[in-house]
Structure 1
């Protein structure tokens, strides 16, 4: 189906919905690299106006990637709830934006329609929204997940403690873990990116984290972010809490990761059988990021933000405990500078929350991007206002294994203080009992030493 829009007596033509979506995207280097972005700002605005007139119902019949050749498309189509869509099926993309911003469109209303929304619908509406629109709507969405802690409640902010080490040194990882705990981090997960995917190394790290958790009686969950097949290899002999996997928005992207929906389902079912959660049994942890489909030459001409939103359909199928976009990690070839990273992160968070995912964000950049820590401070604060479920806690904000810049333990303290947010309730009770924080949520540095004494004394 062809689309057109006339500006100053010049008519812009867009040959199909996929082209229109790409041309309407805010500028980013990845789409330019793929040769699908608008050539001028005027063409981009024309595409956005044309996209605003597209009926939401068209996304149910015009598939950006063919149903027959892509299992993610099949998942999106086959899992669509027509009853949930019925109350908004008369809206255009532009009408949908206006409807989302209404005061009457609250959390209850959004919960009623979320299973009737497809990733393409939410990606489309994000393209015609300002940053403040993305923040305002995302803030309406409360998506709560549970394992040993309850993450995502209003007024709370959780942190993934990320104690990575370039040689997977257990003593180095342990030191970073204790350091992070003393700053109140770790209620989302204590999650290690291993330097090697060796089953033996991964198993030993899982056992070490579980020993720390049990010794200190910490109400949290651990995860070694190995490939899902490595986790499945270890799941009978090692203490696996969460099953992790990086995912993408097309079948071909996931194939480049060495996975498909059947493998993800195998991991999900294996973890569910363990029943290791206490307050809930959401067992999956997924990471995503704009540009992964392009870097795998698996985007099918679809813009990178829409590919990213399609990954959320994959995540939603498995009722995950945690999802986050590693927004600036893939590099400046896809998101060139701080401005592009900030916009992409707000889009990702908005789309995921609208689809019903417990969305966090790795507020980050690589050292060769045109970005700095001030950009990340801005983004972190914007996402905090938007009620992002969790951020990363990296020693000094500098990941010495993955060699990128993220957010620190001190950043977590800043966010909780200025936005008056608290840790997950179960973890907060533990922090109080340990004397790490007081009743006001303030860190008690002297009492934090008790954590070290307990570690050595048990």
Structure 2
């Protein structure tokens, strides 16, 4: 395997595949912090040249964390479909890029189960932003919980009614406002302040009561730790989706208080006791840089570690996966340019892994980014076929203290793109009078419609 190249009369030589992957990555403050980034644009280009000539088989044989040392590596490697892998193993990364850009959805999906996360990360590094948009929009991945997400022509949204004290009236005010804007077809999902079994149970019961009372076809979730949710399930509380934040290494997953055994147990318990009717009932969130923040990156770049998150998630056939792309902060993604690039990368990698992939288009106030950057990213991702975004009151999460996309943003993106919510959800909101012919009516934005005694 060749790990060197001559560029402008200078020899660039790389230590191993992990070094090539790191230095071929677009500039990220997290890789700079880890001391693994390219030292110059020329070195980055040289790494891309070398990477383009590495075969997919060589990438499979050189995971960034050894098989014997890491259960995430073992999960990814053991899940490879050998028949699909044999079709593409002799391709170089450069040839694989050309294959994706020139192939149909059917042809791309015919080989995706033969890929490892390192292969997916590698081809991403050779793509421009436009390549990532063009490639991702070629194919869609669907999943079914209570409704079917990810179908072409739809743009879904998680209704995120977070409250700084978990006050149930405040939470439900946000839920009713969000539904009145056509938001919540992906899930009504709350990040709780209080991770106790009683508090999580109370909120889930309230969500279930509301969606049953108004016949809203969607999914409910409270994003507590998986072990809390398991205890809630055992008490018979109605739960449609089971959530957990995940990482791309065994070390970092342990920092989240999970491992494969815990997630396997949770999956089986949810399969037995879930309130939802479909075969997809897991929800995962990720974000570039989380492995470095927990000293679990194993010397690998943050994009490759993020790709490995999706390989781990795939084991559980999730209904939802999203990257909380700008949440961690400027230590990992310094400014709007880096956040935009990361959002396009993460979305493409999740789609190529086979997941119904969403993005929390977001930033923190200590980052060199603003709402215009987020508008740019959300428009690009809408064109890329992103499965879902977040719907946050006024785009300002008062509990998590970060900026995301608002109820209004979701409505605007749908109108610009001509996309709609999930069909059953859309039909129900048309019955209530919130939507008509796919667009919001004069009733939109008035949560009082759900306070009237006369049910629709």
Q: Which range, TM-score by smaller chain?
A: over 0.9
- Separation (CA, whole Å) in 2 of partners of 1:233 and 1:100: 44
Q: Which residue of 1 aligns with 2:97?
A: 97
Q: For 1:87, what is the secondary structure of its paired residue? A: helix
Whether the 8 Å contact between 1:251 and 1:260 is mirrored in structure 2 is: yes
- Alpha-carbon distance change, 435 to 130 in structure 1, aligned in 2, over 3 angstroms: same
Whether the 8 Å contact between 2:143 and 2:280 is mirrored in structure 1 is: yes
- Separation (CA, whole Å) in 2 of partners of 1:183 and 1:19: 47
Deviation at 1:149, TM superposition (A): 1.6
- The aligned runs of 1:259-274 (5 Å cut-off) are 259-274=258-273
Report how many aligned residue pairs link the two structures: 455
- Separation (CA, whole Å) in 2 of partners of 1:59 and 1:456: 61
Deviation at 1:58, TM superposition (A): 0.4
Partner deviation per Cα, 1:199-229 (whole Å, 9 max, x = no partner): 1111111111111111111111110000000
- Separation (CA, whole Å) in 2 of partners of 1:177 and 1:74: 40
- Separation (CA, whole Å) in 1 of partners of 2:328 and 2:445: 40
Q: For 1:140, what is the secondary structure of its paired residue? A: coil
User: 1:121 is matched with which residue: 119, 137, 141?
Assistant: 119
Q: For 1:235, what is the secondary structure of its paired residue? A: helix
Whether the 8 Å contact between 1:2 and 1:15 is mirrored in structure 2 is: no
- Separation (CA, whole Å) in 1 of partners of 2:441 and 2:192: 30
- Alpha-carbon distance change, 89 to 457 in structure 1, aligned in 2, over 3 angstroms: closer
Q: For 1:286, what is the secondary structure of its paired residue? A: strand
- Separation (CA, whole Å) in 2 of partners of 1:335 and 1:447: 34
Partner deviation per Cα, 1:228-261 (whole Å, 9 max, x = no partner): 0000011022111100000000000100000001
Q: Which residue of 2 aligns with 1:367?
A: 365
Q: Which residue of 2 aligns with 1:283?
A: 281
Deviation at 1:277, TM superposition (A): 2.5
Deviation at 1:296, TM superposition (A): 0.2
Q: For 2:87, what is the secondary structure of its paired residue? A: coil
Q: Which residue of 1 aligns with 2:68?
A: 68
- Separation (CA, whole Å) in 1 of partners of 2:371 and 2:448: 32
Deviation at 1:309, TM superposition (A): 0.3
- Separation (CA, whole Å) in 1 of partners of 2:273 and 2:200: 18
Q: Which residue of 1 aligns with 2:443?
A: 445
TM-score, normalized by length of structure 2?
Answer: 0.97
Partner deviation per Cα, 1:305-330 (whole Å, 9 max, x = no partner): 10000000110000000000000000
Whether the 8 Å contact between 1:144 and 1:358 is mirrored in structure 2 is: yes
- Separation (CA, whole Å) in 1 of partners of 2:4 and 2:36: 17
Q: Which residue of 1 aligns with 2:166?
A: 168
Q: Which residue of 2 aligns with 1:339?
A: 337
Q: Which residue of 2 aligns with 1:59?
A: 59
Q: Which residue of 1 aligns with 2:257?
A: 258
1:111 aligns with 2:130: no
1:26 aligns with 2:18: no
1:381 aligns with 2:375: no
Whether the 8 Å contact between 1:246 and 1:286 is mirrored in structure 2 is: yes
Q: For 1:86, what is the secondary structure of its paired residue? A: helix
Q: Which residue of 1 aligns with 2:45?
A: 45
Partner deviation per Cα, 1:149-168 (whole Å, 9 max, x = no partner): 21110000100000000100
User: 2:146 is matched with which residue: 125, 145, 148?
Assistant: 148
Deviation at 1:441, TM superposition (A): 2.3
Whether the 8 Å contact between 2:181 and 2:445 is mirrored in structure 1 is: no
Q: For 1:73, what is the secondary structure of its paired residue? A: helix
Partner deviation per Cα, 1:243-301 (whole Å, 9 max, x = no partner): 000000000010000000111111111111135334x2211000000000000010010
Whether the 8 Å contact between 1:286 and 1:324 is mirrored in structure 2 is: yes
Whether the 8 Å contact between 2:283 and 2:320 is mirrored in structure 1 is: yes
Whether the 8 Å contact between 2:426 and 2:438 is mirrored in structure 1 is: no
Which deviates the most, 234-243 or 378-387? 234-243
Whether the 8 Å contact between 2:176 and 2:447 is mirrored in structure 1 is: no
- The aligned runs of 1:225-240 (5 Å cut-off) are 225-237=223-235, 238-240=237-239
1:352 aligns with 2:350: yes
Whether the 8 Å contact between 2:363 and 2:404 is mirrored in structure 1 is: yes
Give RMSD over aligned pairs. Answer: 1.4
Whether the 8 Å contact between 2:190 and 2:222 is mirrored in structure 1 is: yes
- Separation (CA, whole Å) in 1 of partners of 2:453 and 2:393: 20
Q: Which residue of 2 aligns with 1:419?
A: 417
Deviation at 1:427, TM superposition (A): 0.3
User: 1:319 is matched with which residue: 297, 317, 323?
Assistant: 317
Deviation at 1:439, TM superposition (A): 2.0
Whether the 8 Å contact between 1:381 and 1:415 is mirrored in structure 2 is: yes
**Structure 1: runs of 5 or more not aligned:** none
Q: Which residue of 2 aligns with 1:244?
A: 243
- Separation (CA, whole Å) in 2 of partners of 1:325 and 1:245: 12
**Structure 2: runs of 5 or more not aligned:** none
Deviation at 1:442, TM superposition (A): 2.9
- Separation (CA, whole Å) in 2 of partners of 1:330 and 1:267: 26
Whether the 8 Å contact between 2:239 and 2:276 is mirrored in structure 1 is: no
- Alpha-carbon distance change, 448 to 398 in structure 1, aligned in 2, over 3 angstroms: closer
User: 2:197 is matched with which residue: 182, 199, 207?
Assistant: 199
- Separation (CA, whole Å) in 2 of partners of 1:195 and 1:456: 34
- Separation (CA, whole Å) in 2 of partners of 1:305 and 1:240: 32
